[in-house]
């Protein structure tokens, strides 16, 4: 059964044209709220990946190389403006494909996508270099930043529109060309956007959009002509991407991987704010966010009150499930697909061996990809639940006594993407933030990104950054030019 009368683009976009994949393979995308088919998308095989890379290479060496910074800026701004006019269409495609609410995709992801592209555009005509005088050794040195060449990006599904903007904006602002692979769980928003690329003024081959599964992503990671690869996804897959990149041509990788973020809750916090962030905001995307506080560390003096408040908040959301995420009044959607549903349920069952279920703990209903919002207490620190990312509406609560204990518990993970601290004592918050082994530490708020600062992880959560100048610089290479000032011939 089809979910919509809209016929979404299912082909690949290479060299400013929609073309059929040569692989002959397709992937069926289903609405996770009801199982209906949204559409069938073509899978890029090795020949298709080669064609996209060749188009990008020709553009990088050809017309695109003659575009100035202001010209690149203007193309990106126009691209953003064209996208802005069609946000409802893109948002609907994303909601139908991966289950996030239309409220989230249309009113958060859509505007954020536009703002991110415009922010990246602002750097296109402001790329600076450095110079060093000849006072020390008689050599005048210049360091210039230039594009790396043909780049690629493999996107995740939980916020596909946003990651499209992060990677495309940064790579294009700095003068590269790009092959972008949309997630097989939610490919249609990127393919709809592809229709605007030529209209925005980009020459053929500058931005190429393909779809496919892990095999397609692996071909990009191993391709000998790609110089930089951005990947957002799970830590196990990120390791495979890094290995393929190293074994091929040592291409640079930007890896934004999973998380097991701690939320450290002190007894002087604003409890209403904490519950809002750790329950309402967390559940808005069903916990499918790598920055989400899934390990809640609570000072023992307020643990009983906090736990009861969280339980009530989770059960209130559960009472509203299942809801169709396309309904504008829906506050929580479905998990991304059947595979994700199975993964989350398996994580919950594994957690039951080493922890106590306070609320939830099961599938919600018998159809659709819905899980009861779940809270675990009395969790063993070395358990699978403590160590591994569930990536669903599942949190665990553990108490602590002292600041030192909180820091030790928070850092007891191989992940290092995000951490949150909740306290009215700002001096303590900053003191603890500096000791957190995480790329992004947020105080009295959730782990959200922005357009100015760096976003990315440490340890097992990857390396490289998106956001602002930090993201643009990841797609560039510094070149040093030296001039012998003593030369007189």
DSSP string, 45-56: -HHHHHHHHHHH
Q: Is 474 helix (H, G, I), strand (E, B) or coil?
A: helix
Instruction: Read off the tokens for 387.
Output: 């160590």
Measured CA to CA, the distance from residue 395 to residue 344 in angstroms comes to: 12
Q: Is 14 helix (H, G, I), strand (E, B) or coil?
A: strand
Measured CA to CA, the distance from residue 436 to residue 295 in angstroms comes to: 14
User: Among all chains, which residue has been given the structure tokens 């009113």?
Assistant: 107
User: 262 and 293 in contact (C-beta within 8 Å)?
Assistant: yes
Measured CA to CA, the distance from residue 77 to residue 80 in angstroms comes to: 5
Instruction: Read off the tokens for 350.
Output: 């594994």
User: 373 and 318 in contact (C-beta within 8 Å)?
Assistant: yes
Q: What are phi and psi of 61, to 5 degrees?
A: -85, -15
Task: Output the furthest CA–CA distance in the chain (Å, rounded).
Answer: 84
Among the listed residues 256, 318, 389, 474, the single catalytic one is 256
Q: Is 486 helix (H, G, I), strand (E, B) or coil?
A: coil
Distance of CA 40 to the CA centre of its chain: 24
Q: For residue 381, which of 401, 354, 358, 349 has the smallest C-alpha distance? A: 354
CB-based burial label for 388 (10 Å; 0-12, 13-18, 19+): middle
Q: For residue 341, which of 384, 375, 370, 374 has the smallest C-alpha distance? A: 370
DSSP-assigned letter for residue 64: G
Q: What are phi and psi of 30, to 5 degrees?
A: -115, 145
Measured CA to CA, the distance from residue 310 to residue 305 in angstroms comes to: 9
Measured CA to CA, the distance from residue 340 to residue 346 in angstroms comes to: 10
Measured CA to CA, the distance from residue 351 to residue 264 in angstroms comes to: 21
Rounded alpha-carbon distances, angstroms, from residue 77 to 21, 90, 117, 442: 30, 18, 7, 30
Measured CA to CA, the distance from residue 340 to residue 256 in angstroms comes to: 19
Beta strands in 149-227 (DSSP E): 150-154, 177-182, 207-211
Whether residue 81 lies in the annotated active site: no
Q: What are phi and psi of 14, to 5 degrees?
A: -130, 130
Catalytic residue IDs? 256
């Amino acid at each position: 059964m089809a979910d919509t009368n809209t016929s979404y683009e299912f082909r690949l976009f290479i060299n400013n044209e929609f073309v059929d994949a040569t692989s002959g393979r397709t992937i069926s995308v289903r609405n996770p709220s009801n199982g209906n088919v949204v559409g069938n998308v073509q899978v890029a095989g090795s020949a298709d990946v080669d064609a996209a890379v060749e188009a990008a290479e020709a553009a990088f060496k050809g017309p695109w190389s003659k575009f100035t910074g202001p010209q690149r800026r203007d193309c990106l701004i126009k691209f953003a403006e064209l996208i802005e006019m069609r946000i409802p269409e893109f948002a609907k495609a994303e909601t139908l494909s991966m289950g996030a609410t239309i409220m989230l995709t249309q009113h958060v992801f859509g505007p954020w996508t536009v703002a991110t592209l415009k922010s990246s555009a602002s750097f296109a005509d402001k790329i600076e270099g450095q110079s060093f005088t000849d006072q020390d050794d008689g050599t005048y040195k210049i360091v210039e930043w230039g594009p790396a060449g043909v780049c690629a990006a493999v996107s995740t599904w939980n916020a596909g529109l946003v990651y499209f903007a992060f990677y495309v904006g940064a790579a294009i602002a700095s003068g590269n060309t790009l092959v972008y692979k949309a997630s097989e769980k939610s490919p249609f928003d990127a393919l709809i956007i592809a229709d605007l690329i030529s209209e925005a003024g980009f020459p053929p081959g500058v931005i190429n959009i393909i779809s496919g599964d892990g095999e397609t992503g692996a071909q990009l990671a191993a391709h000998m002509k790609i110089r930089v690869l951005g990947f957002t996804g799970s830590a196990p897959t990120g390791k495979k991407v890094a290995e393929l990149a190293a074994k091929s041509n040592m291409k640079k990788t930007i890896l934004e991987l999973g998380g097991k973020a701690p939320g450290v809750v002190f007894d002087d916090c604003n409890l209403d704010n904490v519950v809002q962030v750790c329950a309402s905001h967390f559940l808005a995307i069903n916990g499918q966010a790598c920055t989400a506080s899934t390990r809640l560390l609570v000072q023992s003096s307020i643990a009983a009150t906090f736990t009861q408040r969280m339980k009530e908040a989770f059960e209130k959301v559960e009472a509203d499930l299942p809801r169709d995420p396309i309904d504008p009044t829906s506050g929580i959607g479905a998990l991304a697909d059947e595979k994700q549903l199975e993964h989350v349920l398996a994580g919950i069952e594994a957690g039951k061996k080493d922890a106590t279920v306070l609320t939830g703990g099961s599938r919600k209903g018998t159809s659709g990809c819905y899980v009861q919002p779940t809270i675990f207490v009395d969790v063993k620190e070395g358990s699978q639940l403590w160590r591994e990312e569930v990536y669903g509406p599942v949190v665990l609560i553990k108490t602590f006594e002292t600041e030192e204990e909180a820091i030790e518990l928070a850092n007891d993970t191989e992940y290092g993407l995000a951490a949150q601290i909740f306290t009215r004592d700002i001096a303590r918050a900053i003191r603890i933030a500096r000791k957190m082994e995480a790329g992004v530490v947020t105080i009295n708020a959730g782990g959200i990104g922005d357009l100015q600062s760096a976003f990315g992880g440490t340890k097992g959560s990857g390396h490289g950054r998106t956001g602002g100048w930090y993201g643009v610089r990841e797609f560039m290479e510094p070149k040093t030019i030296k001039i012998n000032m003593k030369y007189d011939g």
